[in-house]
A and B are shown apart, each in its own frame.
Chain A
Amino acid sequence: MNMRGTLSHLPREARDTLFLLGVIGCVLLPLVPHLPFWASALASLLLLWRAGLALRSRPLPPRWLLFALLVLAVAATLGQFRTILGREAGVTLIAMLLALKTLEARARRDALVIFFLGFFTMLSNFFFSQSMLTAVAMLVALMGLLTALVNAHMPVGRPPLTVALRSAARMALLGTPVMVALFVFFPRMAPLWGLPGDQLSGRSGLSGSMRVGSMAQMALDDTVAFRVRFDGPDSALPPQSAMYFRGPVLSDFDGREWQALPIRDTPNTPALLEVQGPGIGYETTLEPHQKPWLLLLDASPEGPKASGLQAYMARDLEWLSARPVGDVLRYRATSYPQFRHGPLAETRTLRFLSALPANSNPRTKALAAQMRADPALTAGGTQALVDAALKRLRTGGYEYTLEPGVYGEQTADEFWFDRKAGFCEHIASSFVILMRAANVPARVVTGYQGGERNPVDGYWTVRQSDAHAWAEVWIEGRGWVRVDPTGAVAPGRIGQLTRLRAPRGAFGSAVDSVISPGLAQQLRAVWEAANNRWNQWVLNYTQTRQLDMLKALGFDAPDWQDLVNLLAGLVAAAALGGALWSAWERLQHDPWLRLLALARKRLARAGLVLPAHLPPRAMADAVRAHSGAAGEPLAQWLLELEALRYAAHDDNPAPRLKQLRRRFATLALPTPSA
């Protein structure tokens, strides 16, 4: 017997169990890359074991064994993560619980626990990815879970799973308007309590430290970091290529990771900042990012102004808030693109900023020594060294890529000599290491560069994908000078209105070789447009967007109470709609039956009470018996009503029914025969 035949002849219980196991497999599969190896292996073994038991109709394992497995899983999780409360540990535990619970489905309550654990597991998938593909996969898994749940509530016979699927799909379809309304109007709020600190995803954005080369691939995250509205006309703005929004400054390098100097190590002297030229006033709407830094255009001596905001400037020009930004924050600031910053003469601190760990990047150090030995460069001072390094980047065959692969221990060596490819953090880090090796004080600055002007409302949108890392070099007599080495490698990364798109990976290249380039380009354009829409409408639907939408709906000063009122209004409208529909549905009952019921009601009012199940012929007999010859027309009418229903007709019965209804109105009601 073939596979399909075997499956269709399984007993119902075995079939249902196998289906549920398949769905659970679908829910767990996207988690496999994020779970520890032992957890994935244990989960798949447990599911296979359960499937084997179901196929052979064997009894479930004893409780003590499951308990032992549970203890083992919890212990392994503890061993791996040192906690069971973090996000990754929690996800591992939930996956383990789900797999274990399948072996314990004794009562219906156990089955329900499986469904609810399944919903949690689906949500945990979103910690790792919220892409469209994940959404589609989880929608399929949700339909599977709902189908299994519906199927569990159909105890009669062995209905095909498609019946349950249709039922589940119908519910999901009917539930979609509810989902849309809630998604749009449910007030978005800040996290209710602190988030566990573990970082999971390699997304573009700022993190306060930079471990170069640890991410093989940089996903461009299109969510909005902040929006800016400038006061003056566009002509007064600096060019987009000069818009550097300063975030954390990373000065401390341990050979592998760049970190900001701890506040207590920063000498307690004010930042040395002199501004020149006209200032640019602007208003920034910062999305919550749970970190203290405030993004400002370089450089702002006065800093951001907002009610209740306590901000201070760190020594390296970075502006920090006293509390992490946990809510949408709107502030005003004035920045001066022309500024001078830092000491003009060498200080002790500056020497610290040209230090490198002893055994770090020997080849880069050799390159620096070689450059310093060049008499032409030595004569030109620091500026000549910087220019030489930038020239090397421009002409040395260096490439900008978002998929550089994982780097080894000596990242600068690898970048300068072996791979010659990377994105801004590789380039900036390698550049700063080269400068430090040449005994030039240098540091990495992270923040956002550029942005996108919306021609409709004039707002500049800066996204997480605009996150950037550049370098600052100290030059005697000029102070700290910004150098963006990425611009030397990929001029397009800086200063163009269209932001850099993620380059093609292996899959994209393979597609290109099969499909004609034109079509591939179109397909990619469609895919990107869809992705962009997804980001804009689903992932990027934040409190700001929500309040903007309320404004568009005509609310002057929208707040969350308006959202609640709107939701309540929608619920009321839905209830009213439901009542109307219910009334309409009542009208949709069989018109023939309704006419018969009307006749019965009239007869009852006239004193002839007949039971509801009586057919028209029996009613006619009753009318004749009740009022004799006087009831004859009514009896005839009843017989015609019967003929309309049961005699063979070719034509449409509707007009004849209408005629009968009209005649009924003219009929005399029966009176008891004497």
Chain B
Amino acid sequence: MSSIGTADTQTSSTGERWRTLASVLNPAAMVRRRFRAWWMARLTRTDTTLLTQRNVYILPTGAGWMLALTLLVLLVASINFQLNLGYLLTFLLAGSAVAGMHVCHATLRGLSLHLKTPAPHFAGDSAALEVQLSSERTTPRMAIALAVQGSGQWAWTDVPAQGTAVVQVAFAPARRGLHEVPVLTAETRFPLGTFRVWALWRPAAQVLVYPAPEPHAPTLPPGESAGGDAPTTQSAGSGEFDGVRAYRRGDPQKLVVWKKAAQAMATGTDALVSRDTQQSQRSELWLEPGRTGLTDPEARIARLCAWVLQADRLGLRYGLRLAGTVVPQGSGAAQRLRCLEALALC
């Protein structure tokens, strides 16, 4: 999957490179970029921000300019036809537009935004940042939209009087790793659409993105002896059994843990589990890039991720050996998180 993705970027990147080159050379774009960088640097990172006069911006929209043109035409008509009621209409509209400008600005001014600590997720999953908007005002604030700056995917909400509202802002980084939460924009055009009022906010939180697990990954590699030299040969003989392992072709039916199989069916995976007589005692399951049988580093990590999930689902004890990081043997949710984190950050 990742290889397909890479190919895609490869084909589109020729045009993109030219565009990038053009934008680098364009002086206006350069100035804009410089300005944006300077502006971003002014914003301190914080998870809770109060929007005030100092960080809420306002500019007229296209509709605003259209209204201004309309007012001008109305005024000229009033002058030319000497209509005093025309003057009144024009000036009342102008007054309402001015009041609307203040209402628009007040919709964001005094609003406080709080980013809930974002939960880690897998790359490629649809994920969202949860932002809580709270207002002390005694009147509701209408039609506030939030989005990751530049994404255009707005999430709309109204904030009740002296209450809070929670919005989910779509944010799905494509790559694994620890990502800083991007700059968020809160925007409103309420009530007349003639002004755009917006605020920029750099939350301090970071989002951990696990690698996307390989779909339809092969079964887990065999465990290795406690000594750690070589994989032990499978002996599925009779005797005491203490653990379970993934079903392997050729396992006798009586070794299958049917109870677990039913659970697995219910959750949608059809992984069968067999009883393991000696392995848990004598061998350890180590997940390593070298055992994936792949060469592309990202593909290896995707497979390791799938294996971690598989091993966790089976309730096995396992460990992870990566270049520079070793997660010792363990099991359960904590082990899973440790391994996923190691995979995300390696």
Q: Chain A interface (Cβ within 8 Å of chain B)?
A: 87, 108-109, 112, 116, 119-120, 122-123, 126-127, 130, 134-135, 138, 142, 146, 149-150, 152-157, 159, 163-164, 167-168, 170-179, 182-183, 186, 189, 191-193, 195, 288, 538-541, 582, 589-590, 611-613
Contacts and interface: CB of A to CB of B under 8 A. Distances in A.
A154 B190 contact: yes
Contact of A138 (B62, B89, B102, B156): B89
B92 A176 contact: yes
A134 B88 contact: no
B125 to A, nearest CB: 26
Given A123-B74, A590-B136, A135 B88 contact: yes
Which residue, of A116, A157, A288, A613, has the highest number of chain B Cβ atoms within 10 A? A116
A48 B178 CA distance: 59
Given A153-B143, A612-B48, A613-B114, A168 B191 contact: yes
Nearest to B193: A153
Interface string B130-161: 00000010000011000000000000111000
B192 A149 contact: yes
B123 to A, nearest CB: 30
Contacts of B83: 123, 126-127, 130
Contact of B80 (A171, A174, A178, A193): A193
Interface of B: 46-48, 53, 62-63, 66-67, 70, 73-74, 76-100, 102-103, 114, 136, 142-143, 156-158, 189-193
Contacts of A172: 92, 95-96, 99
Nearest to B101: A171
A126 B85 CA distance: 7
B67 A116 contact: yes
A589 B63 contact: no
A123 B95 contact: no
Which residue, of B89, B90, B99, B191, has the highest number of chain A Cβ atoms within 10 A? B191
Contact of B91 (A155, A171, A186): A186
B191 A171 contact: yes
A191 B85 contact: no
A179 B100 contact: no
A152 to B, nearest CB: 7
A164 to B, nearest CB: 8
Contacts of B156: 155-156
23 contacts: A87-B81, A112-B63, A112-B66, A119-B74, A120-B74, A126-B89, A127-B81, A130-B84, A138-B85, A146-B192, A150-B191, A153-B193, A155-B143, A167-B142, A167-B191, A174-B96, A175-B97, A175-B98, A175-B99, A176-B92, A179-B91, A189-B79, A195-B81
Nearest to B77: A123
B67 to A, nearest CB: 7
B265 to A, nearest CB: 41
B261 to A, nearest CB: 46
A133 to B, nearest CB: 12
A150 B95 CA distance: 15
Contact of B70 (A119, A138, A538): A119
B100 to A, nearest CB: 5
Contact of B87 (A108, A112, A146, A186): A186
Contact of B190 (A150, A288, A539): A150
